[in-house]
Chain A
Amino acid sequence: MTAATGDSLKKRLFKNRWLYYMLAPGVLYFIIFKYVPMWGVLIAFQDFSPFRGFWSSDWVGVEHFRTFFGEPQFWLLFRNTFILAIYNILFFFPLPIVIALLLNELRVEAYKRTIQSLIYIPHFLSWVVVVGLAYILFTTEGGIVNELIAQLGGEKINFLLSNSWFRTMVVGEMIWKETGWGTILFLAALAGVDPQLYEAARMDGAGRWKQMVHVTLPAIRSTIVVLLILRLGSFLDLGFEQIFLMLNPMNRDVGEVFETYVYERGIQLGDFSYSTAVNLFKSVIGFVMVLGANYFAKKVGEEGIL
């Protein structure tokens, strides 16, 4: 519709008035539910009281941050959050890549499609169902895993109520739920590889392993890097719902992370300003991490996302 460019702004606004009417609900939505809360982050620097409201609550500067950094709780949260995040990158992140590479080697199409359909399913289940399944399978009171252990003559293990199993369970559930779904992007990247490249490699005498190293992996390299940057950017977002659901008084020492702490202090105890400060601290670290990862990716010759 290039005809419009010659008209004056007023004329164009009138001409497109229907388009603006259509935009209005969406724009209002973003303002109310996205931008007002962004502005609301400023209560981290206030002693916000719901009765006095945002405009007349007292400003206290960085006091809440100072309190938070001085608390013993701070290091516990810091440690738990980082360990879980590192476990996620180390154990969960590479798996979709490996599985996609293996799926790519399947030559029987029907078999490949069946496996794919199966492994995508868990992604569509809620975290409540996934954690619920884990509770049913792993409980000491008649859960199949512990019954098997018992029948094989072993000692029942309290997977759900112990400090030592919490991280394994959390990462394991993540792997079960999201690995299959994670393969989609890599499979798409793999489908885009020019078959002639494989042919040429074969002519040069490359076996399957060499083909993978020299053709397949370079083809998905940039996808891996972009996803890794995105992952690092949300490094500290551990999937709040899952951890919230897995947390119980028995595993709090290793399970409490920034986000669950925000919920407890903010929603349950009503410390709005303090918990917003905790959340802001977490967001800032996340933001710095995405910038750092992006910078690093560009350094090593990848495109990055920004």
Chain B
Amino acid sequence: MKTSIGSKLFDAFNYTFLGLYGLATLLPFVYVVAGSFTSPQEFITKKIVLFPTQFSLEGYRYIFSTEVLLGSLGVTIFITIAGTAINLLFTCLMAYPLARKDLDGRRIILLGVVFSMLFSGGMIPTFLVVKSLGLINSYWSLLLPGAISAFNLIVLKNFFQQLPEGLEEAAKIDGCNDLRILWQIVLPLSLPAIATFALFYAVNHWNSFFQAILYINDNYKWPIQVWLRQIVILSSGGLGDSAVFDSNYIVPPGQIIKMAVIVISTLPILLVYPFLQKHFAKGALIGSVKG
């Protein structure tokens, strides 16, 4: 096939432009990762480092000498694991009955769920509910108020609906109750979908920040994202405050510490990303078509 000059020019532009766009998403990471591994001397003299020649772990050593940041990392890991478990349990338990078309009251519950996506009470009334339940300053305030995402629930319900009905009937005849059918037949068949939701929920918990600002006053219970804000954005996270940080080490420049905190708080996401990627495009599509 012949291609015109205009077409070739467009291709050249297109490949270059998208390549540059890809680089633009990558470069901030390269800069931050490189910076976090640079020795303070090199950082101060060169100012712009994309590839460190003097490798150093000062920033990380500094972070890991602080109890507060390590503790918050622990909080975040706990919230992510416990939160995802609660999300999956609640979502699966509710999605399965709603997928059964013969269930009385199913329509009204579904309507209620959809309505909650269109209208919400907003920040203050939700805060007052959490407060009146006595959850302020408790990890439950980070786990319960978001236990089910209405959107994920509906997507999973649709997914369950596609499974062949014969399987369930056969199990019923063998004397299984509905809970066992869900656990032993439906869930194993839905593992790819469940894995997608698990990853989405987990990323959400890992990144969650504002709930903690709202509901957690005690800074020893803060997740890492809140400290990240204190250190990187407000620059007042007790940096250089020797009451919080053991000053056994020379304090590296603020920029290096900030970069190291960013790397640590982003690393898990970048590690699961390759696994996530296999699934999410499909997951996002199921959601958009059927949602």
Q: Do A and B come from one complex?
A: yes
Shortest beta-carbon distance from B152 to chain A in Å? 12
Contact between A37 and B22, CB atoms less than 8 A apart: no
Contact partner of B123 (CB less than 8 A), chosen from A99, A126, A137, A266, is A266
In chain B, positions 2-39 with a C-beta closer than 8 Å to chain A are: 4, 6-7, 10-11, 14-15, 17-19, 21-22, 24-26, 28, 31-32, 35
B285 CB contacts on chain A under 8 angstroms: 184-185, 188
Answer whether A38 and B123 are a contact pair too, CB < 8 Å, given A26-B94, A30-B112, A184-B284. no
Task: Select the stretch in B66-74, B202-210, B242-250 that faces chain A.
Answer: B202-210
Shortest beta-carbon distance from A215 to chain B in Å? 16
Task: Select the stretch in B57-65, B77-85, B175-183, B187-195 that faces chain A.
Answer: B175-183
CB nearest neighbor in A for B23: A118
Shortest beta-carbon distance from A31 to chain B in Å? 9
Answer whether A30 and B128 are a contact pair too, CB < 8 Å, given A41-B122, A115-B22, A208-B10. no
- Size of interface on A: residues with Cβ below 8 Å to B: 87
Q: Give a binary string over A168-202; 1 marks a CB under 8 Å from any B CB, 0 the rest.
A: 00000000100010001100100000000000000
A interface secondary structure, majority: helix
Shortest beta-carbon distance from A226 to chain B in Å? 9
Contact between B18 and A115, CB atoms less than 8 A apart: yes
Query: Does A86 make an interface contact (CB < 8 A)?
Result: no
Answer whether A180 and B262 are a contact pair too, CB < 8 Å, given A125-B207, A144-B48. no
Task: Select the stretch in A65-73, A76-84, A127-135, A294-302 that faces chain B.
Answer: A127-135
B24 CB contacts on chain A under 8 angstroms: 176
14 interchain pairs, CB-CB under 8 A: A4-B102, A22-B96, A23-B97, A25-B94, A36-B121, A122-B25, A124-B273, A128-B265, A136-B35, A137-B31, A142-B255, A144-B48, A185-B288, A275-B123
A-B pairs, 8 with minimum CB distance: A37-B121, A26-B94, A40-B125, A126-B207, A18-B178, A37-B125, A132-B232, A19-B97
B residues neighboring A (CB under 8 Å): 4, 6-7, 10-11, 14-15, 17-19, 21-22, 24-26, 28, 31-32, 35, 47-48, 90-91, 93-94, 96-98, 100-104, 109, 112-113, 116, 119-129, 131, 133, 144-145, 147-148, 150, 153, 165, 168-169, 177-179, 182, 203, 206-210, 214, 225-226, 228-229, 232-233, 253, 255, 258-259, 262, 265-266, 269-270, 273, 276-277, 280-281, 284-285, 288
